[in-house]
């Protein structure tokens, strides 16, 4: 066994993977611009609406050759884009309704054209356009330099190269017009021409991918990698390659899954789309900055820290007033407003050895008292500063200080100390700890 | 017509009407593509219900489809709120991934030993099979349609407030979330019962197109609902009749026979699309032809009024007001006319009897004089208003007033005049209208005028007609 057979068992499996990967990468890189430009559904609309273009190209030339189909798709994509834009600009139809009308009508037209021209002898099958068939795609091969290469791999490789060339050639234009179409127009970059070009490229990519993944799943390949990458980065230069990589991962997972029982009964393209959804779902939850679970975790950690600090400060204040007083668990929890976070706060202070349970209640330990002192110092310095420099009345400064105390670091505290001068007491007459 | 055709006809008509009813709300709320989402996302629910129940139980499958359809709507809402993604991208993602999941389920079902042979009809989900609609399907469609109608009637007021102004509805204390779910539930139910008839891919078409068509014909919600239902029913009926060959003798209408082999669902959609295309052209208020016509006539009117004012101002300061002979050449200097346009305008003005051709040029008729006075009065009133009311410099008001003068209603002008009189800014010598507050760029000073008896009011004329003629030769 060599490295070639490590991931997939034979050439057939490899070719399925290669075709899937070419599809996903070609769609993912181009699709990230669709997502960025808020035109995701144009991908949906166009991949449906190119059907009549394909049928007419077939009818006029009588061939199912890739080039003819791509040309048909190109023209149909342009016409669809024009129709949708014209409807939107006419101001008589809402944008989404106009899009819905155009693509469903064109799709219906395509189905009817197929029924008229093929008369049952279907070579151009609707179901084939809709679902594609990744597993049988390797049957038709062409011979290049003595290698038998699946025809779809050649078509999709071409589509990928065309997309990459388009993105690299028009990088600047795409970048500017995606973020600020008005500025692009002012620079003379013709954002509208670029819009049509992008749509035509989308149509061609969609058609190249039909054979492999079908017209509905291609939307998943177009949109999902870009949307996933958008959760992971804020830089366009990273986003596009990342979308390509995610496409690659999607293809790998989908094909690998389709070779694993019990999933080997299912179509690899559908599995790849489901994998894309799975990867997206994981990213939505766990993306470093924007993940929902990650944000929830960060918020909870912050809330916990604040609760812990509030609790420490409370113990310190009570100790100031009545050194021998002990606070029971119930009282402590109640003071924090209850809830599971309050439990966590008490538990984590105990674990960090900042409070301990003695003589029927909780009491600060030496380390706890030290941290509490820092907090109280920040709190009272901030109160003094507010009174001195903002002229707030003393009875208005506690609440803001209660919020600020958690975010005043050592350096800021020193600066405050210097600015309030030799003050020993806060506006309420309490000593400011040193 | 056979019973089969009658059943199918009833089914597609009811489906079209129901889709038009529920689609109207979606289109109004700019959520038209939610129908697309629901019908794609219904697939995994449909298949899962079939898989779990192990039989082709229509009710179970519809419930499954409803559940996954509504789940997809909730998921899209959640994603677009929480996941830093636009609504449309969220919609595309959920739609395609749910559909893929459905295809995976479907392939399990097809290849499973116990279910495979029962699943035959399930494969036609993509385009539907209207021709196979049975009486139970029609009952389902009718039931769902009636339920949707009942819900719309009961919640009409709430739906209206919610669709047009969700914030207002919230402020009224309406249960927004439940209303949204109810509306989406109606949409999902109709989309789901439509799947068997027109398929996953075209069911959204029936939800969107009739409603979008109805929008062209009315500005009133109740009328729009009725029209959408009618258009939907008409599309369903027309598509079915075109593709069902058994209600007419082929010899009578040979062209009809061509439609018979076509799939019913797409033809229904094309019938609806045809209605849409027709409406976008010919609808009186919002149709493109009507709009073009209104724009054209507005442009015509503006050009006509510009001509009249230019003529008026040319000879205003002449001793012989309104009786000057006006030539094309003098007019050319007043505005950036193209000679062709100016000649056309003059011809049109003569045809409308605003001007009368004389040997050397043109002069106002009584009616044309009045029109010219009116439009110039509008222009100057607005100029005076801008100067006194908005503190705009005298030499800046001409252009502003030039754009607005054609659109000022007479009551507003009277009000402006009254205000100016009250403020004491109405020029004492203004009869019938004030002089221009700024210098006119071109006047006929030094040019000739000729006498004319009777209307319009004339003063003496001193200059001989030869002066005008010589001007014309320059």
Contacts of A284 in chain B (CB under 8 A): 79, 82-83
Residue B154 to residues B143, B151, B159, B225, B327, Cα–Cα distance (Å): 16, 5, 9, 14, 70
Q: Does A232 touch chain B (CB under 8 A)?
A: no
Distance CA A284, CA A286 (A): 6
Distance CA A9, CA A267 (A): 18
Residue A47 has what pLDDT?
85
> Among partner residues A35, A96, A220, which is closest to B33 by beta-carbon distance?
A96
- Residue linked to tokens 């209207």: B130
- Residue A347 and residue A284 in contact, taking contact as beta carbons nearer than 8 Å: no
Phi, psi of A35 (to 5 degrees): -65, -45
**Mean pLDDT, chain B, as a whole number?**
81
Interval B461-466 mean pLDDT? 37
Phi, psi of B178 (to 5 degrees): -70, -40
- Residue A32 and residue A239 in contact, taking contact as beta carbons nearer than 8 Å: yes
Q: For residue B417, which of B446, B454, B451, B377 has the smallest C-alpha distance?
A: B377
Phi, psi of A147 (to 5 degrees): -100, 140
- Residue linked to tokens 């804020």: A234
Interval B329-337 mean pLDDT? 78
Q: Does A270 touch chain B (CB under 8 A)?
A: yes
Residue B459 has what pLDDT?
36
Distance CA B329, CA B237 (A): 64
- Residue linked to tokens 């208020």: B285
- With a cut of 70, say whether residue B453 has pLDDT above it: no
Residue B62 has what pLDDT?
86
Kindly tell me the burial class for residue A421, based on how many C-beta atoms sit within 10 Å of its own C-beta (0-12, 13-18, 19 or more): exposed
The token pair that represents A221 in the structure block? 């390949």
> Among partner residues B99, B202, B287, which is closest to A216 by beta-carbon distance?
B99
- Residue linked to tokens 């239902």: B229
Chain centroid, CA B108 distance in Å = 47
- Residue linked to tokens 């298949």: B47
Condensed to tens digits (0 to 9), the pLDDT of residues B234-250 reads 999 999 888 887 766 66
- CA trace torsion B175, B179, B185, B188 (10° rounding): -140
> Among partner residues B27, B79, B215, which is closest to A284 by beta-carbon distance?
B79
Q: Do B95 and A44 touch (CB under 8 A)?
A: yes
Q: Output DSSP code: residue B340.
A: H
Distance CA B105, CA B45 (A): 9
- With a cut of 70, say whether residue B441 has pLDDT above it: no
What count of Cα atoms within 13 Å lies in the side-chain half-sphere of residue A8? 18
Most confident of A112-121, B251-260, B277-286, B432-441: B277-286
Q: Do B107 and A265 touch (CB under 8 A)?
A: yes
User: What does the angle CA B149 – CA B155 – CA B158 come to, to the nearest 5 degrees?
Assistant: 140
Residue B439 has what pLDDT?
66
Condensed to tens digits (0 to 9), the pLDDT of residues A385-419 reads 899 888 888 888 888 888 888 888 888 888 888 88
Is 0.90 topped by the overall pTM? Answer: no
Distance CA A32, CA A24 (A): 12
Mutation to test the B interface, candidates A35, A98, A105, most B Cβ within 10 Å: A105
Condensed to tens digits (0 to 9), the pLDDT of residues B56-106 reads 777 888 889 999 999 999 999 999 888 888 888 999 999 999 998 988 888
State the CB neighbour count (10 A cutoff) for residue B400.
14
The token pair that represents B205 in the structure block? 């078409």
Decide which of B195 and A131 is more confident. Answer: B195
User: What does the angle CA B169 – CA B170 – CA B173 come to, to the nearest 5 degrees?
Assistant: 95
Q: Do B212 and A115 touch (CB under 8 A)?
A: no
Q: Does A113 touch chain B (CB under 8 A)?
A: no
Q: Output DSSP code: residue B435.
A: P
Residue A151 has what pLDDT?
80
Residue B120 to residues A269, A297, B110, B124, Cα–Cα distance (Å): 22, 48, 8, 8
- With a cut of 80, say whether residue B373 has pLDDT above it: yes
Chain centroid, CA A115 distance in Å = 41
The token pair that represents B305 in the structure block? 């009024």
The token pair that represents B375 in the structure block? 């439009």
Contacts of B201 in chain A (CB under 8 A): 48, 104, 107, 130, 216
- Residue A355 and residue A318 in contact, taking contact as beta carbons nearer than 8 Å: no
State the CB neighbour count (10 A cutoff) for residue B210.
31
Q: Do A100 and B88 touch (CB under 8 A)?
A: no
- Residue linked to tokens 């029913």: B233
Q: For residue B219, give the 3-state DSSP assignment.
A: coil
Phi, psi of A359 (to 5 degrees): 50, 45
Residues of chain A with confidence (pLDDT) below 70: 1-6, 64-66, 119-132, 135, 137-138
Residue B462 has what pLDDT?
35
- With a cut of 50, say whether residue B421 has pLDDT above it: yes
Residue A1 has what pLDDT?
44
Contacts of A41 in chain B (CB under 8 A): 33, 88, 91-92
Sign of CA dihedral A4, A8, A14, A19: negative
**Terminal CA-CA length for chain A:** 71
Mutation to test the B interface, candidates A40, A86, A118, most B Cβ within 10 Å: A40
- Residue A413 and residue A379 in contact, taking contact as beta carbons nearer than 8 Å: no
Q: Helices B366-389 and B397-404, interaxial angle, to 10°?
A: 130
Most confident of A65-74, B293-302, B399-408: B293-302
Contacts of A225 in chain B (CB under 8 A): none
- Residue B107 and residue A106 in contact, taking contact as beta carbons nearer than 8 Å: no
Q: For residue B362, give the 3-state DSSP assignment.
A: strand
Condensed to tens digits (0 to 9), the pLDDT of residues B143-194 reads 999 999 999 999 999 999 999 998 999 999 989 888 988 999 999 999 988 8
Question: Which ipTM was obtained for this model?
Answer: 0.85
Residue B473 to residues B312, B339, B361, B445, B469, Cα–Cα distance (Å): 22, 16, 11, 17, 7
- Residue B94 and residue B37 in contact, taking contact as beta carbons nearer than 8 Å: yes
Distance CA A100, CA B35 (A): 9
Q: Do B92 and A44 touch (CB under 8 A)?
A: yes
Q: Does A265 touch chain B (CB under 8 A)?
A: yes
At residue B457 the predicted structure's pLDDT band, cuts being 50, 70 and 90, is: very low
Residue B445 has what pLDDT?
44
At residue B442 the predicted structure's pLDDT band, cuts being 50, 70 and 90, is: low
Provide the β-strand partners of residue A425: A431
Buried b (16+ CB within 10 A) or exposed e, A129-165: bbbbbbbebbeeeeeeeeeebbbbbbbbbbbbebbbe
Residue B400 has what pLDDT?
82
Provide the β-strand partners of residue A144: A147
């Amino acid at each position: 066994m060599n490295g070639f057979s490590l991931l997939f068992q034979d050439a057939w499996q490899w070719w399925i993977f290669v075709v899937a990967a070419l599809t996903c990468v070609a769609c993912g890189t181009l699709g990230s611009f669709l997502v960025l430009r808020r035109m995701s559904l144009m991908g949906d609309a166009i991949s449906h609406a190119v059907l009549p273009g394909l049928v007419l190209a077939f009818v006029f030339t009588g061939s199912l050759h890739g080039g003819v189909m791509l040309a048909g798709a190109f023209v149909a994509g342009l016409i669809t884009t024009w129709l949708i834009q014209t409807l939107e600009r006419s101001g008589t139809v809402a944008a989404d309704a106009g899009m819905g009308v155009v693509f469903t009508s064109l799709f219906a037209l395509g189905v009817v054209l197929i029924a008229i021209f093929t008369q049952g002898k279907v070579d151009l099958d609707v179901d084939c356009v809709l679902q594609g068939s990744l597993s049988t795609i390797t049957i038709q091969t062409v011979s290049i330099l003595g290698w038998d290469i699946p025809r779809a791999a050649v078509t999709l490789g071409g589509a990928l190269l065309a997309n990459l060339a388009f993105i690299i050639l028009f990088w600047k234009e795409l970048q500017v017009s995606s973020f600020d179409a008005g500025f692009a127009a002012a620079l003379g970059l013709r954002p509208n021409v670029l819009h049509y070009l992008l749509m035509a490229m989308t149509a061609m990519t969609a058609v190249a991918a039909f054979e492999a993944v079908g017209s509905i799943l291609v939307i998943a390949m177009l949109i999902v990698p870009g949307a996933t990458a958008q959760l992971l980065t804020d830089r366009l230069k990273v986003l596009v390659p990342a979308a390509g990589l995610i496409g690659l991962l999607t293809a790998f997972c989908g094909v690998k899954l389709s070779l694993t029982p019990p999933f080997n009964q299912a179509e690899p393209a559908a599995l790849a789309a489901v994998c894309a959804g799975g990867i997206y779902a994981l990213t939505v939850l766990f993306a470093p900055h924007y993940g929902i679970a990650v944000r929830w975790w960060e918020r909870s950690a912050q809330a916990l820290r604040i609760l812990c600090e509030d609790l420490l400060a409370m113990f310190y204040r009570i100790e100031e007033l009545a050194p021998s007083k002990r606070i029971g668990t119930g009282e402590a929890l109640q003071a924090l407003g209850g809830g599971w976070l309050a439990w966590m706060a008490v538990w984590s202070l105990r674990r960090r050895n900042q409070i301990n349970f003695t003589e029927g209640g909780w009491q600060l330990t030496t380390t706890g008292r030290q941290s509490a002192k820092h907090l109280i110092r920040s709190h009272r310095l901030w109160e003094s500063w507010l009174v001195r420099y903002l002229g707030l009345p003393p009875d208005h400064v506690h609440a803001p200080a209660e919020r600020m105390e958690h975010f005043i670091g050592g350096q800021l505290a020193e600066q405050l100390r210097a600015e309030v001068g030799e003050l020993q007491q806060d506006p309420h007459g309490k000593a400011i700890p040193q | 017509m056979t019973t089969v055709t009658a059943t199918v006809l009833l089914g597609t008509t009811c489906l079209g009407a129901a889709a038009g009813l529920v689609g109207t709300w979606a289109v109004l709320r700019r959520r038209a593509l939610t129908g697309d989402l629901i019908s794609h996302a219904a697939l995994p629910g449909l298949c899962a219900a079939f898989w779990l129940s192990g039989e082709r139980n229509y009710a179970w499958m519809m419930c499954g489809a409803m559940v996954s359809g509504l789940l997809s709507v909730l998921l899209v809402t959640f994603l677009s709120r929480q996941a830093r993604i636009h609504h449309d991208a969220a919609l595309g993602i959920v739609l395609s991934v749910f559909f893929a999941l459905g295809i995976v389920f479907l392939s399990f079902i097809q290849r499973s030993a116990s279910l495979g042979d029962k699943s035959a009809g399930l494969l036609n989900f993509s385009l539907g099979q209207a021709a196979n609609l049975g009486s139970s399907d029609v009952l389902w469609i009718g039931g769902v349609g009636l339920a949707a109608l009942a819900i719309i009637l009961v919640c009409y007021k709430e739906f209206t407030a919610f669709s047009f102004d969700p914030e207002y509805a919230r402020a009224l204390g309406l249960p927004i979330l439940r209303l949204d779910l109810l509306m989406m539930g109606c949409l999902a139910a109709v989309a789901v019962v439509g799947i068997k008839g027109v398929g996953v891919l075209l069911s959204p078409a029936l939800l969107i197109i009739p409603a979008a068509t109805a929008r062209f014909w009315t500005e009133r919600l109740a009328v729009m609902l009725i029209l959408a239902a009618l258009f939907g029913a008409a599309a369903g009926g027309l598509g079915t009749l075109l593709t069902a060959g058994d209600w007419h003798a082929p010899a009578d209408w040979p062209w009809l026979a061509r439609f018979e082999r076509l799939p019913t669902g797409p033809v229904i959609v094309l019938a609806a699309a045809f209605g849409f295309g027709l409406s976008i052209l010919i609808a009186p208020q919002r149709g493109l032809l009507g709009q073009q016509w209104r724009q054209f006539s507005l442009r015509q009117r503006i050009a006509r009024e510009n001509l009249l004012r230019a003529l008026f101002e040319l000879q205003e300061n002449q001793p012989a007001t309104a009786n000057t002979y006006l030539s094309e050449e003098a007019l050319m200097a007043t505005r950036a006319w193209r000679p062709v346009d100016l000649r056309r305008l003059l011809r049109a003005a003569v045809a409308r009897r605003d001007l009368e051709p004389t040997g050397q040029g043109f002069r106002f008729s009584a009616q044309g004089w009045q029109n010219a006075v009116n439009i110039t009065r509008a222009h100057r009133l607005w100029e005076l208003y801008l100067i006194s009311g908005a503190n705009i410099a005298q030499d800046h008001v001409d252009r502003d007033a030039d754009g607005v003068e054609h659109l000022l209603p007479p009551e507003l002008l009277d009000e402006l005049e009254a205000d100016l009189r009250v403020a004491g800014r109405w020029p004492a010598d203004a009869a019938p209208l004030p002089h221009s507050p700024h210098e006119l760029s071109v006047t006929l000073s030094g040019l000739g005028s000729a006498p004319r008896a009777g209307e319009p009011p004339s003063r003496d004329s001193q200059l001989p007609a030869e002066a005008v003629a010589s001007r014309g030769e320059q």
